[in-house]
Amino acid sequence: MSLLARVVEEQRDDIAIAAIEGEIDASNAYEVGERLRALLTNRSTALVVDLTGTTYLDSAGINLLFELAGELTDRQQRLRLVVPASTPVLRMLTIAGLTGTVPTHETRATALARRA
């Protein structure tokens, strides 16, 4: 994994969880995306991407999340994001329109509690 970002992986029943710490930009978005996709199995119902520890997200990172959301929808799986309201990352995702299409939660607990 790139020195810019660290992905901490976890599984909870049929939900894959990835906490991304650091920066996601053009230099590592592909690699981060491959790590996220590798967490999913045919039994996965959702992927929770926790961006609480993400300090920077550029257009390549935002595009990655849009692509991932589309891929998961095609597989009848769901993407859920964890982004605290106080972070600049939430502002970027809102401006890009991602928060209107992907469920966004302030905490991991609320993202995991949602079953739909």
CB 33 within 8 A of CB 67: yes
Q: What whole-number percentage of the chain has pLDDT above 70?
A: 96
**What's the pTM?**
0.94
Task: Tell me which H or E stretch contains 4.
Answer: none
Q: DSSP label at 9?
A: E
> Domain-by-domain residue ranges, the chain?
5-109
CATH 3.40.50.10190 corresponds to the domain 5-109: no
Q: Which residues of 57-84 are buried (b: 16+ CB within 10 A; e: fewer)?
A: beebbbebbbebbebbeeeebbbbbbbe
pLDDT in tens, 42-81: 999 999 999 999 999 999 999 999 999 999 999 999 999 9
The whole-chain average pLDDT of the chain stands at 94
